Amino acid sequence: MRHIKTILFLSLVAVLILTACGAKTPAPAPATQKPAAKPFGEAACGPNCAYKDMTMCFPQLGAESDWRTADTASFKSEAEKDGFKLVFSDAQQKQENQISAVRACIQQGVSVIALPPVVEDGWDAVLTEAQNAGIPVIIVDRSVSADASMYVSHIGSDMVLEGQRAAAEFNKKFPSGAKILELSGTTGSGAAEGRAKGFRKDLASNIQIIDSQTGNFTRAEAVPVMQAFLQKYKAGTDFQGIFIHNDDMGLGAIEALKAAGVKPGDLFIVSVDGTRGGFQAMIDGWFQADVECNPLLGPQVAEMALKIMNGQSIDKNVLTNETVYYPDNAAQLIGSRQY
């Protein structure tokens, strides 16, 4: 016991002596100087990147319409003009194909991904993968429901406003009310959901949408949908108008209407896009208005992508400036339409 007390006493004395002599715990090693973080998306060549340094991934959603064909052409010709590499794929309107294409682009280490999402939901996982790989994503044309922090910007049309513009045409035409049909775009897509929402928001309460079916934005699928409508409802009696979410479906609907003996002008038809086909339908008396949706997004997206690579600031949401076209000057304008 005496022994233990002595050891404890000596230890205490040693601690006191060391403290008095200023013994210190070793100082932490100096932190290594980290370079200032580059803004998200800035490439290694930033802030002096040129188009030749850019590889843009463009996993196009499909080739379902003349609008889409013009959109694809706009990206391809911009890449050729500016001299950047475009990694193009066609997902045939299937989200799983688009997701695989995005993953392949991440593997490849592209500079930027311009994603036109076929539907709004279901992008969180792949957007996180792109973010983790440091690849900026620009959402193009349609919208996504993912949080805005998961992509750098969105460039495209205001689909809700397009629906509101269509509603305004029906409200003007039918001040005393009417019954109408809706031929809608791809279910779950930003374009169809936005247009349907804007349309319902502004449509007068005395105008009733008696039925709404999807034609998936294609001419081929719109034909049987319109035929089924015509079996169920008598044109002119049961309904007086149709809101059609794009020109291709409008042309399909016209095929079915013609076959059923309906004449141009018997129904009030408003479509969306403003393609040459839509202009011809106005000239022929089938469409009474065509709400513009501009597909020529290539130049804007390329310019923004280069800015991102150079660490420059960009807007989070860039909306395309659009209008409504009418039959009265359709013949005059059709020659200058680019799509």
Cβ distance to ligand AHR smaller for residue 214 or 310:
214
Q: What sign does the CA torsion over 91, 95, 100, 102 have?
A: positive
Q: CB under 8 Å to 243, separation ≥6 — which residues?
A: 166, 167, 170, 180, 181, 182, 183, 199, 209, 270
CB of 293 to ligand AHR, least distance (A): 5
For position 301 contacting ligand AHR by CB under 6 A, the verdict is: no
For position 151 contacting ligand AHR by CB under 6 A, the verdict is: no
Contact pick of 56, 101, 244, 272 for ligand AHR (by CB under 6 A) = 272
Category of 155 on φ-ψ map: left (φ > 0), alpha (ψ -120 to 50) or beta: beta
For position 290 contacting ligand AHR by CB under 6 A, the verdict is: no
CA pair distance 140, 135, nearest whole angstrom: 15
Please count the helices (runs of H) and the strands (runs of E) in the chain.
11, 12
Which residue is closest to ligand AHR by CB? 67
CB of 78 to ligand AHR, least distance (A): 18
What is the footprint of ligand AHR within residues 130-149 (CB under 6 A)? 141-142
- Helix, strand, coil % over all residues of the chain, rounded to 5: 45, 20, 40
Contact pick of 84, 217, 239, 339 for ligand AHR (by CB under 6 A) = 217
For position 191 contacting ligand AHR by CB under 6 A, the verdict is: yes
Cβ distance to ligand AHR smaller for residue 53 or 193:
193
Q: HSE (CB half, 13 Å, CA atoms) of 164?
A: 10
Enumerate binding residues for ligand AHR (CB under 6 A): 64-65, 67-68, 141-142, 191, 217, 246, 248, 272-273, 293
